Amino acid sequence: MCPAGTCERMYARPHAALRPGVHSYRGFRVTHGEPRQRLVVPRGTVSLVVGFGPGLEPGGPVGGHGGKAVRPTASLATGLHTRARHFGHRGALHGIEVTLAPWAAHQLFGVSMNDLADTVVDPVDVLGRGFQELTEALRDTTDWPDRFALLDSALARWTESARGGRPPAGELLEAWDLLVRTGGTISVRDLAAATGWSWRHLETLFRRQFGLTPKRLARIVRLRRALRLLTTGSTPADTAYACGFSDQAHLTNEFTTLLGMPPRRFLAARGTAWRSSHWVAG
């Protein structure tokens, strides 16, 4: 939806060799008559935004905890976020967003994902000069399919380079899948037992390759499930029960802590003014 100004969006799947770690590409060119603000909710994925024009203005997380505000930037990279964060722009955006699983970002960036948790950084800080060269090549290419092909080549090359991080062990991916399948309700002890590792070893690997401990990641997974249920018509009370919260008050407290507002207020805001904003990452 673009009620004012112009919007151009293009979506593509990454090359099969990059999947499932690299989830999607989203090209965008947006102009509005006035600045826009967006609340970006935690989503369990990593974003790499290649900007071609005026930059985004990342704000701090709700509640003022778990991160800090950073300078406006045309391009950015984020780790996993545990709280919603405000983003704004001056009325125009142009670029491509790459969405990745955290372990794929670990391989690509070659850093501990714990260093990027609840953080927004300049991609040059983790990808080096090659990112600047890619940005220039993408900016000079006007056809979206050609841009996506350039991304395929660059991401494959960087992932295979010596700077890339170690691929995740199969047991670690199984632990991730189990945590997601259970909606974040499985205990850390049971999760560790499923891998055959100690909970301390599991926690160390989660922090390094995903960015968060199993407990903190489970919190995001449960929040995401609650959001899906609420936005499809489930009542707060039914949602709290289905997602394993102790009661509706527990659900409300979690929303207020992680999103900055209770469920009903979030749904009301999502259905009105926020829906017209282009920058949606959640």
Quote the percentage of the chain above a pLDDT of 70.
88
The torsion of the CA quartet 133, 54, 93, 114, rounded to 10 degrees, works out to: 60
pLDDT > 80? residue 33: no
**Mean of pLDDT values over 109-118:** 94
pLDDT at 162: 55
* CA of residue 36 relative to chain centroid, distance: 20
pLDDT > 90? residue 272: no
- Measured from the Cβ of residue 233, the count of other Cβ atoms closer than 10 Å reads 8
* Confidence (pTM): 0.88
**Mean of pLDDT values over 96-115:** 95
Cβ partners under 8 Å of residue 146, min gap 6: none
**Mean of pLDDT values over 22-29:** 96
pLDDT tier, 282 (very low <50, low <70, confident <90, very high otherwise): very low
Tally of helices (H runs) and strands (E runs) in the chain: 11, 9
Domain ranges of the chain: 6-165, 170-271
- Measured from the Cβ of residue 90, the count of other Cβ atoms closer than 10 Å reads 14
**Mean of pLDDT values over 44-69:** 77
Cβ partners under 8 Å of residue 240, min gap 6: 226, 246, 247, 248, 250, 251
Strands, E assignment, the chain: 6-12, 22-31, 36-40, 46-51, 57-61, 76-78, 85-89, 92-100, 120-121
Q: What is the mean pLDDT of the chain?
A: 88
3-state SS string for 195-206: HCCCHHHHHHHH
pLDDT at 276: 37
Domain covering 170-271 assigned CATH 1.20.1440.230 in the classification: no
pLDDT > 70? residue 63: no
3-state SS assignment for residue 156? helix
Burial (CB count within 10 angstroms: exposed 0-12, middle 13-18, buried 19+), residue 274: middle
pLDDT tier, 65 (very low <50, low <70, confident <90, very high otherwise): low
pLDDT at 199: 95
CATH for 6-165 is: 2.60.120
On the question of a common fold for 6-165 and 170-271, the answer reads: no
What would the pLDDT profile of 212-228 be if each residue is shown by its tens digit?
999 999 999 999 999 99
Residue with tokens 């407990």: 215
Residue scoring higher pLDDT (142 or 67)? 142
pLDDT at 31: 81
β-pair partners for 56: 73
pLDDT > 60? residue 281: no
pLDDT at 71: 62
pLDDT at 163: 63
Residue scoring higher pLDDT (171 or 53)? 171
Cβ partners under 8 Å of residue 35, min gap 6: 88, 89, 90, 91
